[in-house]
Structure 1
Amino acid sequence: MKREPLAFRYANALYDLAKERGQLEPIGEELQVVKDVFEETNLLDEVFRHPSITSENKKALLKESFQNKVSSEVMNLLFLLIDKKRIEYVASIADEYKRLSYESSGVAEATVYTAKALTEDEKQAIANTFAKQTNKGRLLIDEVTDPEILGGFKIRVGDRVYDASVANQLQRIHKRMMYGNVSR
């Protein structure tokens, strides 16, 4: 996932404030709620980018929508984004905040691609093995079923991909057969 420098600055400032106040997790959850609402309702395209809607109307809509759902810190961030005409960064800020939170607690997200669904024991074994390989305390597994894998699995942790799939092994055998085993 590409990092957005501006979103990182806002997320970092909010993260520092949340850490100082002991509210890392609640604020992270609130940001995720805001992100989900923006993505599910298409508010960004229909309302917040519309040139005839004033900043005050946008703030009133945010206050009405999130008044009892988010803290004053998150609401102030939203108001600041409206004032600076940067509300389109909400999703990126939520993602960067989550990344900062995970990084500080030694957690990483991983996507595992398999031909069939994994059991909980298999998920746990993969999480434990790759947490050690990536020097993380814990790995959160997101599972994707992909019949083209044939067997085995492929896992993506951040920018790294580990491919232990049958499809990949067959592809390597095919290349060796076509071009020979060229190792110098």
Structure 2
Amino acid sequence: MIEFATIARPYAKAMFELAEEKEQTESWSEGLQQLAWLVQQQQVVAYINRVDVEADDKANELIHLLGKMQAAKSSEFRNFIHMVAAEKRLAVLPNIFELYKEFVLVKNNTKQATIYTAYAVASEGQRAKIISDLEQHFHVRLQATFITEPNLIGGLKIVVGDQVLDLSVQGKLQKLYATMTN
């Protein structure tokens, strides 16, 4: 959905800059995450796709669904929802959230990392050690997501941006196979 990313970027950037100015980056991030989740729910999708419902009504319903979240209390955040609804861009909210998250990570000099493990990493101490070691390797702070991938057999596979560090048994077996067949 490249076109959605292109549409979402100016909204995410404006939202991030305003959130920084208002010192609300974290609460607005939570609000955007909730909005992104909401607009992917089947009943909400059906509602926002209805042509007989005004954009303001759609925005008000989303604000109502956010409930008592801190972000929903902000008039700027509510205005953002109304503007996105008026521009018929509610379906782009998940992309806006993803780009907003990237702006927050860049501001904090942090990168998103996906760590694939063959087995679930049980303790927080193990997770912290893995993240610490990887931060030293990549020379940047990491916000990590752990995903269990049994096909790895053992070890780790780490994806940070466009960099991949494959320390898995499966990766080593594939390299060995490639060496032997070439």
TM-score band by shorter chain is 0.7 to 0.9
The whole-number CA distance in structure 2 between the counterparts of 1:12 and 1:161 is: 27
Say yes or no: does 1:129 pair with 2:129.
Answer: no
Say yes or no: does 1:8 pair with 2:12.
Answer: no
Residue identity matched to 2:145: D
Cα distance per residue 1:97-152 (max 9 Å; x no partner): 1110111002222111111122433322221122233332x222211111110111
Q: Show the counterpart of 1:182.
A: none
Q: Show the counterpart of 1:51.
A: 51
The whole-number CA distance in structure 2 between the counterparts of 1:52 and 1:10 is: 26
The whole-number CA distance in structure 2 between the counterparts of 1:101 and 1:42 is: 30
Instruction: Sort the Cα spacing of 1:177 and 1:106 in 2 relative to 1 into closer, same or farther, 3 A.
Output: same
Q: Show the counterpart of 1:108.
A: 111
The whole-number CA distance in structure 1 between the counterparts of 2:157 and 2:137 is: 15
Say yes or no: does 1:149 pair with 2:152.
Answer: yes
Work out which of the residue numbers 153, 158, 176 in structure 2 matches 1:173: 176
Instruction: Name whichever of 69-78 and 2-11 sits farther off.
Output: 2-11
Aligned residues: 177
Residue identity matched to 1:80: M
2:32 partner SS = helix
The whole-number CA distance in structure 2 between the counterparts of 1:150 and 1:63 is: 46
Alignment of 1:82-93 (within 5 A): 82-93=85-96
1:53 partner SS = coil
The whole-number CA distance in structure 2 between the counterparts of 1:74 and 1:9 is: 15
Instruction: Name whichever of 95-104 and 2-11 sits farther off.
Output: 2-11
Say yes or no: does 1:76 pair with 2:100.
Answer: no
The answer to whether the 8 A contact 1:31-1:74 is kept is: no
The answer to whether the 8 A contact 1:123-1:141 is kept is: no
Q: Percent identity?
A: 28
Which consecutive unaligned segments of at least 5 residues does structure 1 have?
180-184
RMSD: 2.1
Which consecutive unaligned segments of at least 5 residues does structure 2 have?
none
Instruction: Name whichever of 57-66 and 159-168 sits farther off.
Output: 57-66
The whole-number CA distance in structure 2 between the counterparts of 1:56 and 1:141 is: 37
Give the TM-score taking structure 2 as reference length. 0.86
The whole-number CA distance in structure 1 between the counterparts of 2:23 and 2:112 is: 23
2:129 partner SS = helix
Residue identity matched to 1:39: Q
Instruction: Sort the Cα spacing of 1:66 and 1:72 in 2 relative to 1 into closer, same or farther, 3 A.
Output: farther
